[in-house]
Amino acid sequence: MKSTELAETHPDFLYGTAWKEERTPALVELALRVGFRGIDTANQRKHYFEAGVGQGLTAAYRAGVVTRADLFLQTKFTYQPGQDHRLPYDPEASLSVQVAQSMASSLEHLGTDLVDSYVMHGPSSNNDWTEADSEVWEAMKKERDAGRTRLLGVSNVSLQHLEQMAGAHSEAPAFVQNRCYARFGWDREVRLFCNQRNIVYQGFSLLTANAEVLRDSLVTGLAARANVTPAQVVFAFARAVGMLPLTGTSDAEHMKQDLADGSLVLAPDAARGIEKLAG
């Protein structure tokens, strides 16, 4: 798939639904009303209320805010160590069966028969791409081939994971979703790997992981001159260097600001300056 084709398959901002618990339905509906068209969730009840995301979608469909066809829905398969007791699969079943069961449960939660992106929430080991990861990835490909997701991704991966994955599988993910720390060069190595292979890099915790950047005079100066907030400058920077950013805000004004910063274009030297800030 060419990068232009892939770009057409997702909106340029994703609304993240972690940690919203009983507020999830109302916040998803609000995000859609404000204008978000990409929703990120996971079948991991410990941190996400995926069925609540589905309730928010249903409310928005009923109110005529959006239709399913307008949306990019992304969810994730999470290994048992990342879950609490509320598992979306039989822990005694094989990993391949767990993937199929988790996907079936996600489709039910989200009230759809097809998601747009299905993501491995994280590899089974912090260091290496393992046999278990290969089994899960192959099972995810089967879900895609059966028409239950359009695209596949991986999350919380290092360059080593990605290189080992590339050695074990002919097919690369469409997405990599990582926490993006300015102090680690904004995940430079992984972003470079992605850029070279036409993989879309999704960055999360762009604000919460980078408090020092939001206070930096380069960023506050750019924000003051453009009459926007430092948070908007960080999201504009993310886009300028080719990331697909996530925001998890619960605040309607921040939702509007986050979407509005799509029209804020950073000069290349400003983006280069922010890229070098802490890494």
Ligand X SMILES: NC(=O)c1ccc[n+]([C@@H]2O[C@H](COP(=O)([O-])OP(=O)(O)OC[C@H]3O[C@@H](n4cnc5c(N)ncnc54)[C@H](OP(=O)(O)O)[C@@H]3O)[C@@H](O)[C@H]2O)c1
Residues engaged in binding ligand X (CB under 6 A): 16-18, 40, 121, 155-156, 177, 204-208, 229, 231, 246-251, 254, 257-258
Any residues with CB less than 8 A from the CB of 235 and at least 6 apart, and which? 13, 206, 245, 247, 258, 261
Residue 3 or 208 having the CB closest to ligand X: 208
How far lies 40's CA from each of 18, 74, 139, 207, 212, in Å? 8, 5, 21, 17, 26
CB 232 to ligand X: min, Å: 6
What is the rounded distance in angstroms from the CA atom of residue 199 to the CA atom of residue 201?
6
Looking at this protein, which amino acid is placed at residue 67? T
Residue 62 or 86 having the CB closest to ligand X: 86
Which sign does the torsion angle of CA 7, 70, 238, 50 carry?
negative
CB 242 to ligand X: min, Å: 17
Residue 106 or 257 having the CB closest to ligand X: 257
Residue 100 or 180 having the CB closest to ligand X: 180
CB 20 to ligand X: min, Å: 8
What is the rounded distance in angstroms from the CA atom of residue 216 to the CA atom of residue 274?
9
CB 178 to ligand X: min, Å: 8
What is the rounded distance in angstroms from the CA atom of residue 198 to the CA atom of residue 127?
24
Residue 127 or 250 having the CB closest to ligand X: 250
CB 75 to ligand X: min, Å: 10
